[in-house]
Chain A
Amino acid sequence: MNTAPQTGLVLPELAGRAPEPSTSRAAEGCAIFIYIYIYFFFFPPATSFFFYFLAADPAVISPQDPTLLIGSSLTATCTVSADFHLRAEDLYWTLNGRRLPAASYAALGPTTLSVALARLNGSKQQSGDNLVCHSRDGGILAGSCLYVGLPPEKPVNISCWSKNMKDLTCKWAPGTEGETFLHTNYTLKYKLRWYGRDNTCQEYHTAGPYSCHIPKDLALFTPYEIWVEASNRLGVAVSDVVMLDILDVVTTDPPADVHVSRVGDLEDQLSVRWSSPPALKDFLFQAKYQIQYRVEDSSEWKVVDDVGNQTSCRLAGLRPGTVYFVQVRCNPFGIYGSKKAGIWSDWSNPTAASTPRSERAAGGCDPKGGEQNTTLRRELKQFFGWVKKHAYGCSNLSIKLYDQWRVWLQKSHKTRNQVLPGDKL
């Protein structure tokens, strides 16, 4: 196509096509020219193209938008409308933009061309494979979207939890992992075991792609049946039914106000205190707690399991002069008198504290003394710098402040170079 955008008018290539008869068509033609002008004025094409304006469908493809199983075969036909003066020999097919071999074509009539597709693979995109019938010069006459895939498999691993007995969130896993050629719709359904009416969950994707949240109208003390239906164009699959009572899957917020402090001068102990999550007092359940802690530089957590329902605990057997990170979580149990445990909450945000430094290492006759002093001095300098910036002067100076600074150091990854391994003993 010859284009000269600056001159203003461009003639589209109409070689081999009958001229449009009526004046309305001519007016439409004018509109095209102007369109092309503006089009090229704004973004000139890299390659030539064929452009024409149609009032009726130029061709019809059959089958239109079929759904097929992977591995099946298909014969599609393209029938050109009489107005277009095209014959079967003037047509060709493409699938997803790639031309199909002429060997698979067959002329079924003067204006009808068919193509045979064997052993189809799954659709390249969920919107369907694009099977297109073209005229010889590349123009698109008609298209059909092929949906090729597999029926869904039943979803598995349904697990649910209720936050403070107020709602229910469930998640599941799809039966087939990996690619799904067809779009699959998941519906979570639930009903009271002995009442019969199915309900559908409405809020999806609240805790990941395969999850749903039921915010209200949930009954307690009575079992629910919950299941997930997966459906796509090829069929439906229903998961196994899960039966549960809301009170059995209760979880709550993590404990609040976690404080970790030293126990006097004891070098190997820290005291942890927290308050129970606020929801606890409303719901007639008790809570049991778990603590986990780790040394500043390690990623290995130690768990303390036998905390019971106290809101404080003393950690013993710790290393002196070390910074520890501590987290607490809780599990509501004995809900309305039942003996079962609920589901553990999330861990609280980590809190840091350090054990007092051992007396032994502070001797002046220690050959490493000089080295330690320089390190200590450097650390102190940095500490005071930080205090000036963050602690509004020295009135709040306390060992707590020093611990906070150590946590801050850790976070800004400067610890590596400052603390010598020797100090940790």
Chain B
Amino acid sequence: MPRPSLPQFPRVQDEAGAGGDSWGIFAFLCAALCNLPAVPALNGTEELGAGQSIQKTYDLTRYLEHQLRTLAGTYLNYLGPPFNEPDFNPPRLARAEQVPSATVDLDLWRGLTDNARLAANYRAYSRLLCYLRGLDGQAGTAELRHRLGHFCSSLQGLVVSIAGVMSSLGYPLPAGPAGPPPPPGAPAAPNDFLKKMDDFWLLKELQTWLWRSAKDFNRLKKKVPPAVVTLRLEARGF
């Protein structure tokens, strides 16, 4: 296996302009190298696993995004026009704040630590899963209910996958809604039309979150492997 050698370090250093993260990695590597003889080579393989988990999670978000397109189309047709019109954009009511929003200031998003980035994803999908499961159990045809069920299972898989990445990188899982508790304090919609609007926004947020997560995991993918590979091979060198 070829050694991608020390030049990795200068590359990390050049990225310093991009923000504190790269310096953080560099500092971590230095500290790690100093302790290297005490570090079993096995640690390296575990972190290589993190790279694969991140890739898998990324793939899963793309898959879910694709599934959601069909599911949302079918569900919005069930809600009927104008919900299934392409330019439909109803007002966002205060009560709809219950659904976690993917929106965030761009610079803030760029500056998120890996832990914060993963935690935001984990919390969001846990809650979105709750709401999705609460979608009308009698909704539409048996086929629609079946699709919804299948999507929920896949989304559950995503939550588990994110948890896996977090633990393989050594981050604790966010406390609180681990797994699906009943939607905390979310009042049932006072009428059927508002319920339809809630359903619409839920699907919209899900869509936005999946778009954002793909970018989140892409970012994580680029960050984790180089440090890991260097660490592993340095261990071999000693």
B80:A127 contact, CB within 8 angstroms: yes
A residues 90-117 near B (Cβ < 8 Å) are 94, 96-98
**Interface magnitude class on chain A:** 35 or more
Partner of A130, one of B80, B102, B105: B80
- Say yes or no for A346: interface residue by CB 8 A criterion: no
Q: Does B196 lie at the interface of the complex (its beta carbon under 8 Å from any beta carbon of A)? A: yes
Question: Which B residues from 112 to 144 make CB contacts under 8 A with A?
Answer: 136, 138-140, 142
Q: Which residue of A lies closest to B195 (CB)?
A: A145
When distances are taken between beta carbons in the complex, the residues of chain A under 8 Å from B104 are 34, 38
**Is B85 in contact with chain A by the CB < 8 A criterion?**
yes
Most chain-B Cβ atoms within 10 A of its Cβ — which of A39, A94, A143?
A143
Q: How far is the CA of A145 from the CA of B89 in the complex (A)?
A: 18
Q: Which residues of B contact A8 (CB under 8 A)?
A: 106
Q: Which residues of B contact A64 (CB under 8 A)?
A: 191-193
A127 → B minimal CB distance (Å)? 5
Could you tell me how many residues of chain B have their Cβ less than 8 Å away from some Cβ of chain A?
36
The residue that A125 contacts in the complex, of B78, B194, B197, B212, with Cβ under 8 A, is B78
How does the 8 Å CB contact mask read for B181-194 relative to A, with 1 for contact and 0 for none?
00000000001111
B82, CB-defined interface residue at 8 Å:
yes
Interchain CB contact under 8 A, A49 and B89: yes
Q: Using known A-B contacts A64-B191, A140-B91, determine if residue A97 contacts B82 with beta carbons closer than 8 Å.
A: yes
* With known contacts A38-B104, A39-B208, A139-B91, A125–B80 Cβ distance under 8 A: yes
Which chain A residues lie closer than 8 Å to B142 at the CB level? 205, 209
The closest CB in chain B to the CB of A38 belongs to B103
A65 touches B (CB below 8 Å): yes
Residues in A with CB closer than 8 Å to B102 are: 38
Residue A400 CB within 8 A of the other chain: no
A residues near B208, Cβ cutoff 8 Å: 38-39, 42
A65 CB contacts on chain B under 8 angstroms: 191-193
If A51-B89, A125-B79 touch, whether A142 touches B94 (CB-CB below 8 Å) is no
Do B87 and A45 touch (CB < 8 A)?
A: yes
- B19 in the interface (beta carbon within 8 A): no
| Contacts known (A96-B82, A130-B83); A34 close to B105, Cβ less than 8 A | yes
A97 to B82, CA, bound (A): 5
Specify the chain A residue showing the minimal Cβ separation from B91.
Answer: A54
Tell me whether B98 is interfacial, beta carbon within 8 Å: no
B94 touches A54 (CB 8 A): yes
Q: Does A253 contact B (CB under 8 A)?
A: no
Q: How far is the CB of B67 from chain A (nearest CB, A)?
A: 17
Q: How far is the CA of A183 from the CA of B192 in the complex (A)?
A: 15
CB-based contact B193/A142 at 8 Å:
yes
User: With contacts A50-B89, A51-B89, A94-B82 known, is A145 near B101, CB below 8 A?
Assistant: no
Q: Is A129 an interface residue (CB 8 A)?
A: yes
How close is B110's CB to chain A, nearest CB, in angstroms? 13
Residues of B within 8 A of A98 (CB): 81
Residue pair B192, A145 in contact (C-beta under 8 Å): yes
Instruction: Name the A residues within 8 Å of B90 (CB-CB).
Output: 140
User: Taking the complex as formed, is A283 at the interface, i.e. its CB lies under 8 A from any CB of chain B?
Assistant: no
CB nearest to B102 among chain A residues: A38
Q: Which residue on chain B has the smallest CB distance to residue A30?
A: B105
Q: How far is the CB of A96 from chain B (nearest CB, A)?
A: 5
Contacts of A139 in B (CB 8 A): 91
User: Roughly how many angstroms separate A319 CA and B102 CA in the complex, as a whole number?
Assistant: 74
Q: Are A124 and B80 in contact (CB under 8 A)?
A: yes
B192: chain A residues within 8 A (beta carbon): 64-65, 127-128, 144-145
A190 at the interface (CB under 8 A from B): no
Please indicate the chain B residues that have their CB under 8 angstroms from the CB of A52 in the complex: 91
Question: Which residues in A have their C-beta under 8 angstroms from that of B82?
Answer: 94, 96-97, 130, 132
Distance between Cα atoms of A57 and B197 in the complex (Å): 13
Interface residues of B in 84-99 (CB under 8 A from A): 85-87, 89-94
The chain A residue with its CB closest to the CB of B89 is A49
| Chain A CB within 8 A of B211 CB | yes
B85's nearest neighbour on chain A, judged by CB, is A97
Given the known interface contacts A53-B92, A54-B92, the answer about A127 and B103 at a Cβ–Cβ threshold of 8 Å is no
**A336 in the interface, Cβ–Cβ < 8 Å?**
no
Q: How far is the CA of A38 from the CA of B110 in the complex (A)?
A: 13
Residues of A within 8 A of B85 (CB): 97
Within 8 A of A (CB), among B222-236: none
Give which listed residue, A42, A61, A94, A127, contacts B196 with CB less than 8 A.
Answer: A127
Which of the listed residues B81, B85, B197, B211 has the most CB atoms from chain A within 10 Å of its own CB? B81
Q: Which residues from B are CB-within-8-Å of A58?
A: 91
Encoded as 1 (CB less than 8 Å from any B CB) or 0, chain A from 31 to 42 comes to: 100110111011
- Mark contacts of B60-83 with chain A using CB atoms, 8 A cut-off: 1 yes-contact digit, 0 otherwise: 000000000000000001111111
Minimum CB–CB distance for A347 against chain B, Å: 28
Contact A54 B78 (CB under 8 A): no
> Which residues from B are CB-within-8-Å of A140?
90-91
CA A34 – CA B146 in complex, angstroms? 36
**Structural contact, A130 and B193, CB atoms closer than 8 A:** yes
**Chain A residues, Cβ within 8 Å of B87:** 45-47, 49
- Closest chain B residue to A126, Cβ basis: B140
Q: Are A31 and B94 in contact (CB under 8 A)?
A: no
A77 → chain B closest CB, angstroms: 15
Residue of A nearest to B75 (CB): A127
If A51-B91, A183-B138 are given as contacts, then 10 extra A-B residue pairs at C-beta distance below 8 Å, sorted by A number, are A38-B103, A65-B191, A125-B78, A130-B80, A130-B193, A132-B82, A142-B193, A143-B193, A144-B193, A145-B191
Complex A-B: 30 CB contacts under 8 Å = A34-B105, A35-B101, A38-B212, A39-B103, A42-B212, A49-B89, A52-B91, A54-B93, A55-B94, A64-B193, A98-B81, A124-B80, A124-B81, A125-B77, A125-B78, A126-B78, A126-B140, A127-B139, A127-B192, A128-B192, A130-B82, A130-B83, A139-B91, A140-B90, A143-B193, A144-B191, A145-B191, A145-B196, A185-B138, A205-B142
3 pairs of A and B residues whose beta carbons are closest in the complex: A97-B81, A143-B193, A97-B82
